[in-house]
Amino acid sequence: MSTAAKQTRTNRTITVDFRDDATYAQMLGDGKAFVEFVCAFLLALGFQLAHKVTCRGGGCLTRHSHYVRLRLGGLTIWRIQCTTCRAVFTVLPHFVLRYRQMRPEVARDALLATHGGLSLELCAVIGHISPMALYRLICALGQQSLVGVLTRCGLPLPVYFLADEKHSHCLTDKVYLPTIVTSRVLWHLGYTTEASAAAFAQSYGEFQRAAVQQEPSYRVKGVLTDGFDSTTKSLRTLFPGIRVGICLRHALIKLPKKLVAIASPVRKALRTQFHTLWYRARQRKGLRVFALGQRLRHFVDDVTSTAGAANGERIRRWFQDKKAGWYAVLADPQMPATSTLLDQAHNAIDRKLFMMKGFHHLGGSQGAFLTGLAHLYNLIPYQRRALNAGKCGVEVEGGRVPTADWMLNLQILTSGGFRPAGMGATT
Ligand SMILES: [Zn+2]
């Protein structure tokens, strides 16, 4: 079963916004004007074409570029070839989806409904398409990596991030979705059938390889987890020297369960005290780690005196187990402290995941499907409040999207033939 988005041959399709069908039809008769329009579009986006590694063609096309017209399902499409490296770029107008009969307007409604949590079957009813056609469309979008699309939007690779695995089901099998999040953006949404460190390292390794390919000097400084052993091990293997923190909010949630056989008011009082402890520890500017160690010891003493020796000992062992992860959070002011945003991303993805059950089959494209869903999560506007109204996650994080239309952005950004200006050529 495939866990990674496969790419068998280099896809150099580019989607170009011709604004309306008539402009495109007009351009078809004039090769020179057509190439000039494509170049101006690239320049406006700040993109270059993904030529071959050896090419010194300058990332765009020249008026000497060869072009041919071909008919594709009743539509005339242009192919442009770089005269230097002979890379061939297929230019798709905005009103056509790659390899698909589906109109973008139909795809737009179906994808939006999918993203909103409606089953693939019902989304297909809305657009009068087959559920499998919609599944394949999402998989096709998922052929482009999240790292590739996000860096095209100008987002810097994350130096600190949140990582955790979503537990899910495929038919009756337990599966895990290793996830990397910064704020409102998903950088990785993988798929494994095991919860071992090796399986997670394989999945998080896909993110690492994509990131290093974009930026060979890429280094991660810190990651926040929920403290699961396989997660920590896999990340330490992939990113030697990384600071691994444990979510502070989880510490607060877990505390009451660690206090056994005591009256409710005592438990409540200790929880409040624990909350204050964290608040004070995070308020401090310097020596935060030293102060936390002291406060945790005092707290164990208080538990012992109010809730008994057994509870005190349980809390002490729990602190012993987790404190390195908590120290890691407090030792670096740039470390994220809670994994709330990752939980939000998982909740959003969860609404769609039950749809996978019906489409699960050996040799299926779980990896590509999940990556496709993650693109929707990153690029569909979600903000309703005034400050960021109408913005998608990428924009909220300071990234640039090519146009004001999310569907067109999705088409353009998941085209294989683009790369951000100033970056090395791809193979
Ligand atoms: Zn070239």
DSSP 274-340: HHHHHHHHHH-SS-HHHHHHHHHHHHHHHHHHHH-HHHHHHHHHHHHHHHHHHHHHHH-TTS----H
Q: How close is the Cα of 91 to the center of ligand 1, in Å?
A: 15
Kindly report, residue by residue over 181-193, the tens digit of the pLDDT.
998 999 999 999 9
Percent of residues, the chain, with pLDDT higher than 70: 90
Q: How close is the Cα of 12 to the center of ligand 1, in Å?
A: 12
What is the pTM (predicted TM-score) of this model?
A: 0.88
CA distance 14 to 417: 5
If you average pLDDT over every residue of the chain, what do you get? Answer: 86
Flag whether pLDDT at 178 surpasses 80. Answer: yes
Q: How close is the Cα of 14 to the center of ligand 1, in Å?
A: 15
Kindly report, residue by residue over 9-49, the tens digit of the pLDDT.
577 889 999 988 888 988 888 888 888 898 899 888 888 88
Give the C-alpha distances (Å, rounded to integers) separating 216 from 103, 143, 332, 424. Answer: 39, 22, 25, 11
Kindly report, residue by residue over 126-146, the tens digit of the pLDDT.
888 988 889 889 999 999 999
pLDDT at 39: 87
Q: How close is the Cα of 210 to the center of ligand 1, in Å?
A: 23
The residues that bridge with 163 in the sheet, in sequence order, are: 180
Q: How close is the Cα of 87 to the center of ligand 1, in Å?
A: 6
Q: Is 292 exposed, middle or buried (0-12, 13-18, 19+ CB in 10 A)?
A: buried
Kindly report, residue by residue over 312-326, the tens digit of the pLDDT.
999 999 999 999 999
Flag whether pLDDT at 100 surpasses 60. Answer: yes
Strand, coil or helix: 415: coil
Q: How close is the Cα of 300 to the center of ligand 1, in Å?
A: 67
DSSP assignment of 341-381 equals HHHHHHHHHHHHHHHHHHH--TT--HHHHHHHHHHHHHHS-
Q: How close is the Cα of 277 to the center of ligand 1, in Å?
A: 60
More confident residue, 117 or 300: 300
Strand, coil or helix: 128: coil
Kindly report, residue by residue over 179-231, the tens digit of the pLDDT.
999 989 999 999 999 999 999 999 999 999 999 999 999 999 999 998 889 99
Residues in the chain: 427
Flag whether pLDDT at 232 surpasses 90. Answer: yes
